[in-house]
Amino acid sequence: MLSLLTRKRAFRPDFEAGRTAFAANDFVTAFQHWMPLAQAGEGQAEVQIGLMYITGRGVAANPGDGAFWLRKAAGQGDVEAMYLLGQLLATGRQPDVNDPATRWRQEAVEAEPEVGEANFRLLFPHGLDVAVDHEEAAKWLTAAAERDHAGALTELGILYAQGHGVPQDAHKAIECYSRAAEKNFAPAQYNLGGMYLHGHGVAQDLARAREWYTIAAEAGNAQGQFNLGLIYQNGQGVEKDSGRAAAWYRKAAEQGVVPAQVNLAIMYANGDGIEKDVRQSQRWFEAAAHQGDVNAQTNLGLLFARGIGGPPNHLEAVHWYRKAAEAGALQAQVNLGQLYATGVNGRRDYGEALRWFNEAARRNHPIAQYNLGQLYAAGKGTGRNPQLAYFWLALALDKLPPGAERENAMLEAERLRGELSDDALARVEEALRADRAKLKLANA
């Protein structure tokens, strides 16, 4: 009786097979192909392994290991590795705080500092992060730039413009950007536009700035598209054209540029250069709000609170106002306080109103100070306190413009003043002098 024995075919690492796997999003297989080649000193594979460690594709993210492999490839003269390493060192990279290795290190070091650090160095000899090192970044970027690498020329230009790792030299920055721009590298074209716009290293020339922004924008550079929108909206060196501004903002907004999304939303809300469209306005405010932009979150809250484009939705308004308010957005704090004071779906919450008016009042917002004074005067959300009520109304009167609120504040402050004893009034006046002195110093 015959038996057939089959042998498992030996795995042979292959760079192109790794490339094919990577293109199919099979990062684990790509890593399996490239790591043995990188360990054998193959430069292309070292670059790819370095990038995989930096991005966390096919392996746990570890910028320290990524820099290690890029250094090996750069040391062998790989131009792309020189560029990527220089770019990494110019910005630095920290591991994700939620990464298991990061959490393990923190817990181990907290439990036994010396043992934890020793074990960490054993397990991660290249560390988990990459510290900013502008001088080494300049070294590698210069090496790659000397070989006409467009990305390296651009990054080196940024270092010269900022004076990081090299002496600040706007003329050298222009030279680097120009060489890269000639290679049709859109980020360099965008940076060159900025130099002409602001007159850095070259005489200010708004026409040339627009020219370079246009070239970059037409090549798909999102920041170039946004800046071109600003130029047309503001009429910088060109006649104002809201229609063109909106068109360029849309292109940038579709690529996720938050300020472009906000500006486009405002233009739709006002019908500026495009047909007024509340739904489109809400769409773009939402896009920016989900990326954490507090201006968009505040405006989105306003749309929901006032029922612009649909029935009012106070719960959604509170949601977006609160996000912006907790991030420190002053107007959102005021709006949230007002919504709680007037009622969320018919229910007033003076305690929350007091909280948010207090936050904004301490930052010298007159409407918040006025409302806070009224709450203390009426004892809503807190015990009645004529001294605090008078204090906040008096501060509000320093900035409130003419109108009904100012007139009401004056009448209420005068009435409260009559309630206070001479000693109490003297204490409040002293507090007002001290507070105004602080504000004067802060605004000096």
- What range defines the domain where residue 108 resides? 15-123
How much is the pLDDT for 1? Answer: 44
331 and 313 Cβ atoms separated by less than 8 Å: no
- Which of 123, 147, 177 is a domain's end point? 123
Residue 108 domain-assigned (yes or no): yes
Q: What are phi and psi of 219, to 5 degrees?
A: -85, 0
How much is the pLDDT for 436? Answer: 83
Q: What is the pTM of this model?
A: 0.84
Residue 187 domain-assigned (yes or no): no
Residue 331 domain-assigned (yes or no): no
Q: How far apart are CA 295 and CA 250, in angstroms?
A: 18
Residue 147 domain-assigned (yes or no): no
Q: Based on the structure, what is the number of domains in the chain?
A: 2
**In the block, residue with structure tokens 């270092």:** 159
Q: How far apart are CA 301 and CA 308, in angstroms?
A: 10
pLDDT mean by block of 10 residues, the chain; 444 residues: 53 94 96 96 96 90 92 97 97 72 56 59 68 97 98 98 97 97 97 96 95 98 98 96 98 98 97 96 98 98 94 96 98 98 94 97 96 96 94 95 94 94 93 81 52
Domain of residue 32, CATH code: 1.25.40.10
Residue 298 domain-assigned (yes or no): no
Residue 186 domain-assigned (yes or no): no
Residue 64 domain-assigned (yes or no): yes
Tell me the three state secondary structure of residue 321: helix
Q: How far apart are CA 118 and CA 271, in angstroms?
A: 63
How much is the pLDDT for 93? Answer: 84
- Which of 95, 123, 151 is a domain's end point? 123
- Which of 123, 142, 168 is a domain's end point? 123
Residue 416 domain-assigned (yes or no): yes
How much is the pLDDT for 132? Answer: 95
How much is the pLDDT for 112? Answer: 67
Tell me the three state secondary structure of residue 349: coil
Q: List C-alpha distances in Å: 418 to 61, 272, 411, 424.
A: 67, 51, 11, 11
Q: What share of the chain is helix, strand, coil (3-state, %, to 5)?
A: 70, 0, 30
How much is the pLDDT for 311? Answer: 93
Q: Is 175 exposed, middle or buried (0-12, 13-18, 19+ CB in 10 A)?
A: middle
Q: Is 23 exposed, middle or buried (0-12, 13-18, 19+ CB in 10 A)?
A: exposed
